[in-house]
Amino acid sequence: MKHPLAYLTVCLTLCASAVAAAPVPLSAENAWLRATPGTDVAAVYLTLHNTGAATVTVIGVRSALAADATIHETRLSGTVSAMRPALPLRIAPGAVVRLAPEGLHVMLHMLSRPLKAGEDVPLELLLEGGASVAVTAHVKALTEP
Ligand SMILES: [Cu+2]
């Protein structure tokens, strides 16, 4: 057995450069949320488009402004609307998935401070395989349509 560490290093280097070089075939557009006066949770809406030829799977979300973030789906069961976890979120090749009110949304928990209208919130969508997509969500006023 010769230099097992050397082989490991080569593998890690190749794998890391493959991930860095591959363009991520997922676009994230029109990300927005409402201002959050007096609460430390927020729902973010956006449109995801898989522009590639393979399924893209979102396995997590991060934000520098929230201690915890995930994706939920709001569903009506009878007359009660409830949120359930929606990760992992699989997006078929060519598919457009809209995260919109009354449906899928990114849920931010434990915001580090209240979010004001006009500011931008950084998000990162974590994809299966190690890539990630940076998203900037715009904060709308409560009264803004
Ligand atoms: Cu939620």
For every residue of 39-87, DSSP letters joined together read: -S-EEEEEEEEE-SSS-EEEEEEEBTTEEEEEEEEEEEETTEEEEEE--
For the chain, what are the domain ranges?
Answer: 23-140
Cα 9 to ligand 1 centre (Å): 41
Query: Across the chain, which distance is largest between two alpha carbons, in Å?
Result: 68
Distance CA 138, CA 130 (A): 26
- Give residue 145's pLDDT: 83
| Architecture, CATH, for domain 23-140 | Sandwich (2.60)
Cα 71 to ligand 1 centre (Å): 7
- Give residue 136's pLDDT: 98
Structure tokens at 46: 């956006």
Cα 133 to ligand 1 centre (Å): 20
CA 4, 21, 136, 50 torsion-angle sign = negative
Degrees to nearest 5, angle at CA 87 with 92 and 96: 30
- Give residue 6's pLDDT: 56
Cα 25 to ligand 1 centre (Å): 26
How confident is the prediction along the chain (145 residues), in pLDDT tens digits per residue? 555 555 555 555 555 555 555 689 999 999 999 999 889 999 999 999 999 999 999 999 999 999 999 999 999 888 998 999 999 999 999 999 999 999 999 999 999 999 999 999 999 999 999 999 999 999 999 888 8
Q: Which of 92, 87, 88 has its CA nearest to residue 25? A: 92
Cα 13 to ligand 1 centre (Å): 38
Q: How far is CA 98 from the centre of its chain?
A: 12
Q: Which of 2, 127, 139, 130 has its CA nearest to residue 56? A: 127
Cα 110 to ligand 1 centre (Å): 13
